[in-house]
Amino acid sequence: MRTVNRIASGQRNRTLRYRLIQALFIFILFAVAFLSSGGQVLAQDGENPISGKPPIGSEPSVDDFDYQVKYQRAFEAVIWSRPALGIYSFRRAAFDWLGYQDNDIIAYSELATPRLEALTANSSTSYIAAFTDLRKGPVVVEIPAAGDDGSLYGQVVDAWHLTIADVGPSGIDKGEGGKIVFTPPGYNKEIDDNEYIHVPSPNYRIAFAFRSVVLPGKTLEDAYEYAKRTRIYYLSEADEPPEPRFIDPINDRYPTLPLYDEHLFEDIYDIVTVEPVQKKDKVMMGMLKSLGIERGKPFSPDETTELAMRQAAIDGWHYLQYLVDKEMINRPYWEDRHYYSLQPTDANNKFDFTYEDRIDLIERALPFFWGTFYPKELAETPTTEYTAAIADKDGNLLEADKLYKVNVPADVPVEQFWGLTVYDRDTFSFIYSASNRTTLSSYDIEKMETNADGSVTLYVGPNAPDGLESNWIPTSGKRPMPVMRFYGLTEEFKDSFIMPDFELVE
């Protein structure tokens, strides 16, 4: 009997140990599952769904979801709209500040000064610009033929800042001039191809910007008079074209720079409620509705929306500035230098950054953050190049209130000219100063002090070195962004030329 009891007792002990081990094993499994689920209790026998809500104990990061949603959508709208805003602000400023009307022609009689407040504008050649609205019908632009007395080159862009026609010797007219007719979206009437070069526009409002080149033996005045041969009128007026009204804003402020406060969204409203909505932009149109931007309805944002839009515009500017400093410095034009191209294209050598599976919004925003009027497609061997200096030879970002120098070699291998223009790094526009000097170029060599080997040392900073005022571009305490422009690139330039870096003058 004792033997039987001992056996039974041993069996009970083994059973108890087995159950304890089994219970411990289940507990461990439960603990692992609990921890891996972020603290949520897994469903047992259908009591709760497996997921569907945040982890137990989590809290929302904001209290005001109305503001947060509006801010997020406004921020994305700032990046998305960057190309369209750049060209719309040009148009808006012409009407508001210059008394412009559609089909007037803006022609600068002299080189632009800081009163042209524009993104990386040129002050080596004179500008001619115009705007029109195809809702009123097709528009004809007459371009004079290029020749010994002058030459125009430039772009016509649509409301999204994408080039629909290049003009000039490398453009749609091949330098032969002629009549280009631009037709609005959905236009289906026949155009006489023998008389006109037909360009259909995907948008209603388009803009023109040409440069009149000073040819050898000619003067700036000659280039201005040549530019005034341009004509713009509606196709309905073609039998008796009206005399154009030219506007010369050389002594006027022309503030074309984009806005970075809540008023930026008024420009977005003015764009998207006029221009056709493309399929790729319908998601953004839905997001804009959260801000009160909707076709066929007035734009009257409430206080919360205005606060969200204002902060989003400010943050968008800071974010894009951050990208210029932190990312563009890693994309040098010359491998061992600190310049980057102001014409960064997409993978197709274009500027729309549209691919089969996506639109690269950030990459698209950057070139239109600092510039305007890009070619339709950048040639594999371009004839012009614009390179901006972000840092000095030691890789340090250029700073305000410091003096820098750069040595431009003798005989830079270009067929036309080179020029150094200095911009305010914050606005990418010309810097106001006592002299209003913005540029020094190969046209100015005879006025500058040159080195024994024919090179010329240029200075950029708040004050000129003693005796070298002629070689100096003032910065007036602004953080500088020097840009070297090269026109008429030769094979030598493309194969072997390397521009020296800027150096800090101690």
- Count CA atoms closer than 13 A to 435's CA, side-chain side: 15
Q: Say which residue the tokens 């904001």 belong to.
A: 62
CA distances from 201 to 187, 355, 371 (A): 9, 21, 22
Strand partners, 486: 385, 418
Residue 42 and residue 290: Cα distance in Å, rounded?
Answer: 37
Specify burial of residue 85 (Cβ count, 10 A radius: 0-12, 13-18, 19+): buried
CA atoms within a 13 Å half-sphere pointing along the CA-CB vector of 487: 16
Beta-carbon contacts of residue 467 (< 8 Å; ≥ 6 apart): 449
pTM for this predicted structure: 0.87
**β strands within 277-399, DSSP E:** 339-341, 384-389
How far apart CA 314 and CA 78 sit, in angstroms, is 9
- What is residue 61's predicted lDDT score, i.e. its pLDDT? 92
Q: Is 420 helix (H, G, I), strand (E, B) or coil?
A: strand
The H-assigned helical ranges of 228-360 are 264-272, 282-289, 303-326
Specify the amino acid at residue 330: N
Which residues of the chain carry a pLDDT beneath 50? 1-8, 41-43
Structure tokens, 302: 């409430």
Alpha carbons 15 and 217: distance in angstroms, whole number: 110
The enclosing H or E element of 369 equals helix 361-370
Specify the pLDDT at position 506: 82
Sketch out the chain's domains with CATH numbers: 16-59 (no CATH), 67-80+259-324 (1.10.3360.10), 99-251 (2.60.40.1610), 328-504 (2.60.120.600)
